[in-house]
Structure 1
Amino acid sequence: MFKNKSTYSYILFLTAFISVGNAQQVYLEAGVENAYFKNYVNNLGGNTLDLNYAKSEDLFLESGLRANFFTDRFQGEVGASYNKYIINTGFYVGNNPQSIPLRYNLTYIGVKTGLNFAVLNDALFKIKVHANISFDYLTKATSAYQNVVNDLITDNTYDRTLLRYHRGLSAEYFISDNLSTYIKYNIADSFIEKNQDSNIGEQYSLHTNAFSFGLLFSINGSNNRCYGSF
């Protein structure tokens, strides 16, 4: 496994650069997702977060390009996303069994690349599995508890970059030679690495679950099909 985000980022951008020239489809996607901090460990080696609070469903947007790899069963993709997460959690202090409510408000922009594989590859209907890697950059971050709001970027108490691996399932329906639509379920986790903020020793993975709807637009006549002739 690579040891730092710089290496991952180099691979991500290199793959994106190569893929853009071969693009055959443009996709536009919107959906809702929730997030929480998975496998949290504080600087003392303990987990003081309470994950029993209701999860917020938040809107995200994504757009990008897709290209076939040798066959239409395999597709590579590269895209960009806007994600906003409201994470309701709490933290325990001392031996108090009641956690103190804590809310994070996080906004990321990201770039991602990966592969789609059609398990069912019918002319009109496809079922696909996907695997992606994304590099996400934090643009806004606050935390709020007991009427106190902290700017996490200004305070340098939250890591500004994430490297995440995605996996999931989608169902795609062919509408016309130039248009298809799909629904998708995606799970993502950030790699646990040493944080670059002031909380030395703190570790966690940002886990998200997402449901989305998308449109696929063919370019360069790549989706023209022949169903038969006389």
Structure 2
Amino acid sequence: MRQVADSTKEAINQSEGFGAALLSQKLGIDTATKNGAALRQSLVDIVDATTDAAASGADMTERNRQNQEALAQLARQYGLTGEQIRAAADKLGLDDVEVTVALKGAPEAVQQLAAISAKWNDMPTQKTMTIDSSAVTKETQGLLERLGATVERIPNTNQVKITADDADARAKILMVTQNIAVLNALRANRRSTSTRLCSICEIVRPGERLKGWIVPLCRRLLG
């Protein structure tokens, strides 16, 4: 994070990438330019620092405050809005880590989220689901909204309608079942090696490092 703070003090050459030209709808940041590559690295550093903080049980209120300051500084430096820089950071995993922190302190919400994920896995192409309101506490609703879904409590009924129009939101919800299955397996067979952690990440998403909420939780279980 100190490197990020130092880098934001430096003026950049706008001819090497600036403003909306730095954005990529798929990847968050387009690294084809020098400034794009530098900005992406700064965002990755923020995500990694947040992941490490979550894994070590640090004060996440302070970490989130530092993140907001760093993102605001990067937005000013690279000619982006606060929403644009935050969206790019989320594509690189920042929102996933923050959901992790919420999950740690909400075991009932985790169970409800897992049940919703399991049900959605039976109909993965559907964009909406209606379930009993008792199966969605306020904490669970908050987690679903953090994952990109909308939750509507249907008036005069005991039903809740969950909508995930965005493909990324549906993918995150569908992954919950697999992530929790991996965590349960880890609890039953703990091995405190970095190799074991890497193998778990490969199970969840083969061929790439997973920046989702499984990583900090794996570290806490295996460390």
TM-score by length of 1: 0.21
Greater strand fraction, Structure 1 or Structure 2: 1
TM-score by length of 2: 0.22
